[in-house]
Amino acid sequence: MTTPTYPGVYIQELESGVHTITGVATSIAAFIGWAPQGPVAQPTLVLSWNDYQSQFGGLYPGVYLGYAVSQFFGNGGQQAYIVRLVEGASTASGTEPTSSLTLFASSPGTWADGITVRFLAGADSTSFSVQVLDSNGNLLESFMNVSSLPTVTSRYAPTVIDADSRYIRFENNYPTPSPPPNVVITFPAPATPPHALTMGSAAPGSPGTVLKPTDAAFVSQISTSDQIHGLLDSIPPVNIVCVPGLTMLASASTTAAIDALQKFCVEARAFYLVDPPPLATVATATSMLPNTAPNAANSAMYFPWVWAPDPLAGNRPTLLPPCGLVAGVYAATDASRGVWKAPAGIDAGLSGITGLQYVLNDLQNGLINPYGVNCLRQFPSYGNVVWGARTLVGADTVGSQWKYVPIRRFALFLESSLYNGTQWAVFEPNDETLWGQIRLNVGAFMQSLFLKGAFQGTTPQQAYFVKCDAENNPQSSINQGILTIKVGFAPLYPAEFVIIQIQQMMAGLA
């Protein structure tokens, strides 16, 4: 503030003390599986099915990852991170004899077969252009005005290609100052004419083992929560985790992988969609449940598998796990109604499938539902829909407070939003001023959710409370540097059982 030196009015701007809390995303999915191409063990964001196809190669026979991602986007999903797991794969490479120029495919596998890389002369001897073409000569990507000389700052460096190209890498073997004009590199080529390179002849690419979720080499890469943290912690927090086709039928190691995924989801405030065993029947569906330990609260199972057209088999129906479909329904419900709405009911339709492995009736549904297994149902008027909203601790005999999917996911949403939105309070003076600011900021956030219909109750007092005062922050806690904020909310329970009572009235009786 300016020191007053003359009689008059002075203007001073004061901080409002308001720190807006923004709700976190709730439907960013992570898919873990094998793909024929793409970055290895590195989460990669895809925003559409076409995006997935261009980066990871689309569908592959007998591998569920591509089908699940396609169903996710086809049912309302918008953002997904793909983690490609491989075993024994190698990357194509080689050396062009004239210029000693070496190039590498961007990721392991034989996916680069037929791709051609063309180097064209630039405007002067210090620059060149790079074109990447498919086997039919169609341009996939290009980089103009490239130079390896550090003094030429106005042009792209090859390191930019290493970072941006989906197909090729120099890997520190950069042409200096430029390759000979019109060098052509093919992945692979049948011969080696002047200025051309047979990528496969020096070090051919190998697809390695086609991994399925039941293979030991696959399961070993996600058998502990630390391994999963190593795969997913480098990206923004994900909310839904899918490993398409990972079941209880393979071995004890598969069970350990499911336990590890459940533990990761508890630690990361995410939600894991568990696929049922593909050979499970109505009679055995409940006997093959994963361990219903405390970590199972952040997971749910949907039964049965689904039939969907397979473009790789002339669109004949093939049996697929349901996790990708359900993840898409989660995303669509979150966007249209909110994370507090159960992702189930006649509005939770399943698109892109031809039918269900089993068409369940009410009695069969009634046998499975009390065990916390959610059913996919087929109704004449509504088609195929999600018809259950329980977590894996949602069995009637467990009596968990996290029985229902929307309540658990809404609690995770609140935890993450408040965690992010109160970081500003760290190292602030722990006194009544701070407590009042926190009550104001957290209360404003909870009130905004109340106005959207996220809680039970007709008044804010019935719907939620925020407590941060001297009662829950005594001097002993202040001396230890501890600030306690207590937030309570009245969740919306889904109307799982609708009971209509009909009574006959006797005419003429008062």
Q: Are residues 172 and 317 in the same domain?
A: no
Residue 508 is predicted with a pLDDT of 66
| Exposure string over 350-372, b if 16+ CB within 10 A, otherwise e | bebbeebbbebeeebbeebbebb
Beta bridge partners of 133: 116, 139
Annotate 214-236 with DSSP letters as a single string: TSHHHHGGGSSHHHHHHHHTTSS
Residue 199 is predicted with a pLDDT of 34
**Contact assessment for residue 170 and residue 93, using Cβ atoms and an 8 Å cutoff:** no
Is residue 98 predicted with pLDDT exceeding 60? no
Residue 457 is predicted with a pLDDT of 93
Select from 361, 384, 407 the last residue of a domain: 407
Select from 151, 174, 202 the last residue of a domain: 202
Is residue 194 predicted with pLDDT exceeding 60? no
Q: CA angle, corner 459, sides to 453 and 463, nearest 5?
A: 60
The 10s digit of each residue's pLDDT in 286-312 is 777 776 677 999 999 999 999 999 999
Q: Are residues 500 and 383 in the same domain?
A: no
Is residue 166 predicted with pLDDT exceeding 60? yes
Q: Are residues 54 and 173 in the same domain?
A: no
Is residue 376 predicted with pLDDT exceeding 90? yes
* 240 part of a folded domain: yes
Would the CA dihedral through 161, 166, 169, 172 be positive or negative? positive
Band of residue 241 on the pLDDT scale cut at 50, 70, 90: very high
By residue count, the chain amounts to: 510
Q: Are residues 197 and 214 in the same domain?
A: no
Q: Are residues 197 and 231 in the same domain?
A: no
The 10s digit of each residue's pLDDT in 64-82 is 999 999 999 999 999 999 9
pLDDT (mean) for 354-368: 94
Q: Are residues 362 and 475 in the same domain?
A: no
Q: CA angle, corner 75, sides to 69 and 77, nearest 5?
A: 60
Residue 188 is predicted with a pLDDT of 55
* 415 part of a folded domain: no
Maximum CA extent, the chain? 107
| CA dist., res. 229 & res. 240, Å (int) | 14
Q: Are residues 143 and 223 in the same domain?
A: no
Q: Are residues 320 and 402 in the same domain?
A: yes
Residue 64 is predicted with a pLDDT of 95
Is residue 282 predicted with pLDDT exceeding 90? no
Band of residue 158 on the pLDDT scale cut at 50, 70, 90: low
| CA dist., res. 168 & res. 163, Å (int) | 10
| CA dist., res. 261 & res. 232, Å (int) | 11
Its domain, for residue 496, covers: 422-510
Query: Which tokens sit at 284?
Result: 């055995």
Residue 171: CATH number of its domain: 2.60.40.4290
Is residue 261 predicted with pLDDT exceeding 50? yes
* 14 part of a folded domain: no
Residue 183 is predicted with a pLDDT of 62
Band of residue 409 on the pLDDT scale cut at 50, 70, 90: very high
* 395 part of a folded domain: yes
| CA dist., res. 431 & res. 170, Å (int) | 57
Residue 160 is predicted with a pLDDT of 72
Q: Are residues 301 and 392 in the same domain?
A: yes
Is residue 26 predicted with pLDDT exceeding 80? yes
Mean residue pLDDT of the chain comes to 85
Is residue 415 predicted with pLDDT exceeding 80? yes
Residue 197 is predicted with a pLDDT of 33
Q: Are residues 323 and 392 in the same domain?
A: yes
Residue 244: CATH number of its domain: 3.40.50.11780
Band of residue 284 on the pLDDT scale cut at 50, 70, 90: confident
* 320 part of a folded domain: yes
* 1 part of a folded domain: no
**Contact assessment for residue 303 and residue 376, using Cβ atoms and an 8 Å cutoff:** yes
| CA dist., res. 207 & res. 214, Å (int) | 18
pTM, to two decimals: 0.87
The larger pLDDT score, comparing residue 64 to residue 87, is at 64
Band of residue 208 on the pLDDT scale cut at 50, 70, 90: low
Q: Are residues 238 and 154 in the same domain?
A: no
Number of independent structural domains in the chain: 3
Is residue 198 predicted with pLDDT exceeding 60? no
pLDDT (mean) for 218-246: 93
Band of residue 16 on the pLDDT scale cut at 50, 70, 90: confident
Low-confidence winner among 160-169, 418-427, 492-501 (lowest mean pLDDT): 160-169
* 290 part of a folded domain: yes
**Contact assessment for residue 205 and residue 90, using Cβ atoms and an 8 Å cutoff:** yes
Band of residue 177 on the pLDDT scale cut at 50, 70, 90: low
Q: Are residues 278 and 384 in the same domain?
A: yes
Query: Three-state secondary structure along 269-304?
Result: CCEEEECCCCCCCCCCHHHHCCCCCHHHHHEEEEEC
The larger pLDDT score, comparing residue 285 to residue 53, is at 53
pLDDT (mean) for 347-359: 95
Exposed, middle or buried, 510 (CB in 10 Å: 0-12/13-18/19+)?
exposed
The larger pLDDT score, comparing residue 408 to residue 4, is at 408
Select from 171, 202, 233 the last residue of a domain: 202
Distances (CA, A) of 290 to 25, 56, 219, 246, 432: 27, 30, 16, 11, 47
In the chain, helix, strand, coil percent, each to 5?
30, 20, 50
Band of residue 434 on the pLDDT scale cut at 50, 70, 90: very high
* 7 part of a folded domain: no
The 10s digit of each residue's pLDDT in 450-485 is 999 999 999 999 999 999 999 999 999 999 999 999
Residue linked to tokens 């042009």 = 155
Among 340, 348, 248, 251, which residue's Cα sits nearest to residue 291? Answer: 248
The 10s digit of each residue's pLDDT in 111-149 is 777 777 887 776 666 677 888 888 788 898 888 877 765
| CA dist., res. 64 & res. 216, Å (int) | 16
